[in-house]
DNA sequence: AGGCTTTACTAATACGCATTAGGGAGCGTT
DNA sequence: AACGCTCCCTAATGCGTATTAGTAAAGCCT
């Protein structure tokens, strides 16, 4: 149309006006006009093949992205991810095609399309260390939402400061006179669980750790304050306690360590803290973007959790 | 590693064993072993560049995909979309980078990446006819979630049968003795609004159409049953009515034509119908997939809405 | 006029795969 | 021995872009 070469169009299209390359303003205008009139858009595939990046960020979740049974626990993360992606002009590729093997999705499989994206964001309670290690090994840029242990090297992440937030709750309970405290939950396995327990153990040296969600066991410890790893477990325990004639929080206090990951029906707001999910999603994308541009300001970030006063923690009974 | 050519690897990788091409079983095994041991995966970008499809479906929404203010109206659509995509082994590309111009996102812009996907699903209350026309013109495979008017040609869609569902509600009201009925809402603009009104007008020939959400105007018509286009408007009107001493539904009945698109706080379930959002999302992807394979079974589908009995429609007052 | 520099562009190539025409090797047949 | 045929496999090419070496043209200087 304009009598110039494909190379020239490419140069104009990408606004290359470096010292190395120059295009006469008149030519540039002519090409731009043709581009505008035809609505020509460079093929993103070919562009990526040639230049190694395409402003697409992969989003890999170990569960469904749009969860049904998870009570939308992941939703706020995705809101943050989308907002930041939109802000920096990136599209999101949801890796929904990853097949489920042994009850969990696999990043690496026969036909994975991870490499289609410039980098990717990983979401899920627990990420397979072997897959993380391979990601690191292949040098594929990625950021985990949620802290992860090293996997043959430091894993870039944006996590929540569970230890700090949990410890703060323990301190608060102690200030209210609680002396005997119980941690109910795994306290291990996924980093988010381990971190909660770490915070608890650090602040409540004599605290008790119970793995089963069992009111009798809890009561037998003589504890006056219960820290539940899972919100939903707290809801169940409170119901049990009240069925047994205990008043909450007068007789027994409860602290929920984070937001519900399973749907939990209750009209009572638990004392505890809120995970900055949206912010985590946002910053994960931001960090990924920095990594892609080669100058990340620290590849591991912990964000503070916002305390929730709630109504399930009171002065310890005399 | 195996001493064979790149072409052979490609053939083995893609399981090409047609009559045209043959690979000795022994060679095939050798290559497969190398593939397995290295975890080699074909570059999806190059693959797409060469073969013209990559099992990626674009998802374009005129609003944010993960909505904040929309009360999650779109969420169920996305659940369906994701489920079907996962089922057929496709990844989803969320076109979040589309810039907002004049208050709405634009499909076509400087750097759009639509063509990266094999096809795409369009979501939003109203799609720009000009953009639809261009999509049709460029022959880019797509499916709209929600019925759309022709735009220089028939638009492939999976929509909700608003006319049928609305007409059914009108009939139900008439059976309960209602004679004077009012439709509150635009009744025009987006197809979903026009279709609701179409169903209303078809069944209630003498029905009144009011555009403002104004209780006084409604009462002045002498109507005993109000059909609200927007759930949230219904909620507001019911509150007003009760503040004015009217009982709902004894004195005034309400029917909500579909689910809330704006957040609406009420403990009362409105009589009306439910939009099969998840199913629409699912079938949109299914239809898109059929189109891509070249044998769609009809490119325009209307799905029935499920009636909701609710508590806001009663026998007309004597 | 000849040589040097700057300007403005193009030819050629790489990116990693899928595709296909075609070729070499081995074997049977005449 | 010459020919034909079947099997396997490879060389070559194209996909649409970004990049870079290189070149023609024009201008400048001596």
DSSP letter for each residue of A156-207? PEEEE-HHHHHHHHHHHHHHTT---EEEES--SSSHHHHHHHHHHHHH-TT-
Side-chain half-sphere of A186: how many Cα atoms within 13 Å?
9
Tell me the pLDDT of chain B averaged across its residues.
89
For the CA atoms of B68, B73, B74, B80, the dihedral, rounded to the nearest 10 degrees, stands at 130
- pTM comes to 0.84
Evaluate if residue A109 carries a pLDDT over 90: no
pLDDT tens per residue, range A232-280: 999 999 999 999 999 999 999 999 999 998 888 888 999 999 999 999 9
Choose the mutation target among B96, B135, B278, B279 for the interface with A, i.e. most A CBs under 10 Å: B96
Give me the percent of chain A exceeding a pLDDT of 70.
94
Choose the mutation target among B32, B35, B52, B65 for the interface with A, i.e. most A CBs under 10 Å: B65
- CB contact under 8 Å between B112 and A43, yes or no, is no
Give the model's confidence band at B68: pLDDT under 50 very low, under 70 low, under 90 confident, else very high: low
Per-residue pLDDT, A108: 74
Q: Which residues contact B36 (CB under 8 A, 6 or more apart)?
A: none
Per-residue pLDDT, B99: 67
Nearest alpha carbon to residue B165 among B237, B223, B229, B220: B229
Evaluate if residue B265 carries a pLDDT over 90: no
pLDDT tens per residue, range A79-106: 899 999 988 888 888 887 676 777 677 7
Determine contact, residues B182/B223, Cβ cutoff 8 Å: yes
Partners of B223 in beta bridges: none
- Residues of chain B whose beta carbon is less than 8 angstroms from a beta carbon of chain A are 39, 41, 43-46, 48-49, 54-56, 64-66, 68, 75, 78-79, 82-83, 85-86, 89-97, 99, 108, 110-113, 115-116, 134
Which nucleotide's C1' atom has the smallest distance to the CA of A44? D17
Closest-CA distance of chain B to residue A79, Å: 5
Tell me the pLDDT of chain A averaged across its residues.
89
Question: Kind of pairing, strands A157-160 and A181-184?
Answer: unpaired
Per-residue pLDDT, A94: 86
Evaluate if residue B135 carries a pLDDT over 60: yes
Q: Nearest residue of B to residue A56 by CA position?
A: B93
- Taking the alpha carbons at both ends of chain B, their separation in whole angstroms is 89
Give the model's confidence band at B166: pLDDT under 50 very low, under 70 low, under 90 confident, else very high: very high
Residue range A59-69: mean pLDDT, rounded: 71
Q: How far apart (Å, rounded) are the C-alpha atoms in residues B14 and B16?
A: 5
pLDDT tens per residue, range A189-216: 999 999 999 999 999 988 999 999 999 9
Q: Nearest residue of A to residue B100 by CA position?
A: A86
Q: How far apart (Å, rounded) are the C-alpha atoms in residues B168 and B165?
A: 5
* Spacing of B23 CA from D7 C1' in Å: 9
Q: How far apart (Å, rounded) are the C-alpha atoms in residues B313 and B318?
A: 15
Q: Residue A289 CB: number of other CB atoms within 10 A?
A: 22
Evaluate if residue B207 carries a pLDDT over 80: yes
A55 neighbourhood in chain B, CB within 8 Å: 97, 111, 113
Residue range A276-285: mean pLDDT, rounded: 97
For the CA atoms of A254, A256, A262, A265, the dihedral, rounded to the nearest 10 degrees, stands at 50
Give the model's confidence band at A187: pLDDT under 50 very low, under 70 low, under 90 confident, else very high: very high
Residue range B198-204: mean pLDDT, rounded: 96
Per-residue pLDDT, A40: 85
Determine contact, residues A243/A214, Cβ cutoff 8 Å: no
DSSP letter for each residue of A233-295? HHHHHHHHHHHTT--TTTTSEEEE-SS-SS----SSPPEEEE--HHHHHHHHHHHHHHHHTT-
Choose the mutation target among B43, B60, B105, B116 for the interface with A, i.e. most A CBs under 10 Å: B116
Evaluate if residue A110 carries a pLDDT over 70: no
Instruction: Copy the structure tokens of residue A247.
Output: 């008043």
Q: Nearest residue of B to residue A47 by CA position?
A: B45
Q: How far apart (Å, rounded) are the C-alpha atoms in residues A91 and B61?
A: 12
DSSP-based three-state secondary structure for A34: helix
B91 neighbourhood in chain A, CB within 8 Å: 93-97, 113
Give me the percent of chain A exceeding a pLDDT of 90.
59
B43 neighbourhood in chain A, CB within 8 Å: 49, 115
């Amino acid at each position: 149309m304009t009598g110039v070469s494909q190379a020239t169009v490419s140069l104009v299209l990408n606004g290359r006006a470096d010292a190395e390359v120059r295009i006469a303003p008149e030519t540039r205008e002519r090409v731009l006009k043709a581009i505008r009139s035809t609505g020509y858009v460079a093929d993103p595939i070919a562009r990526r093949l040639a230049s190694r990046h395409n402003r697409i960020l992969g989003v890999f979740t170990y569960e469904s992205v749009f969860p049904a049974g998870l009570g939308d626990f992941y939703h706020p993360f995705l809101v943050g991810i989308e907002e930041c992606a939109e802000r920096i002009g990136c599209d999101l590729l949801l890796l929904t095609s990853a097949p489920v093997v042994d009850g969990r999705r696999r990043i690496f499989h026969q036909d994975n399309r991870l490499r289609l994206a410039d980098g990717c964001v990983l979401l899920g309670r627990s990420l397979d260390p072997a897959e993380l290690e391979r990601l690191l090994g292949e040098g594929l840029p990625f950021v985990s939402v949620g802290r992860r242990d090293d996997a043959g090297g430091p894993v870039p992440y944006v996590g929540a400061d569970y230890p700090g937030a949990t410890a703060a709750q323990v301190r608060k309970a102690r200030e209210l006179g609680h002396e005997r405290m119980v941690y109910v939950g795994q306290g291990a396995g996924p980093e988010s669980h381990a971190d909660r327990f770490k915070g608890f153990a650090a602040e409540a040296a004599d605290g008790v750790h119970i793995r089963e969600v069992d009111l009798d066991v809890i009561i037998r410890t003589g504890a006056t304050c219960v820290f539940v790893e899972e919100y939903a477990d707290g809801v169940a325990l409170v119901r049990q306690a009240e069925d047994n004639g205990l008043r909450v929080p007068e007789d027994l206090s409860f602290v929920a360590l984070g937001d519900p990951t399973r749907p939990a029906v209750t009209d009572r707001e638990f004392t505890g803290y809120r995970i900055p999910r949206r912010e985590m999603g946002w910053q994960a994308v931001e960090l990924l973007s920095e990594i892609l541009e080669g100058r990340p300001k620290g590849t591991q970030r912990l964000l503070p959790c916002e305390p929730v006063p709630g109504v399930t923690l009171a002065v310890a009974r005399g």
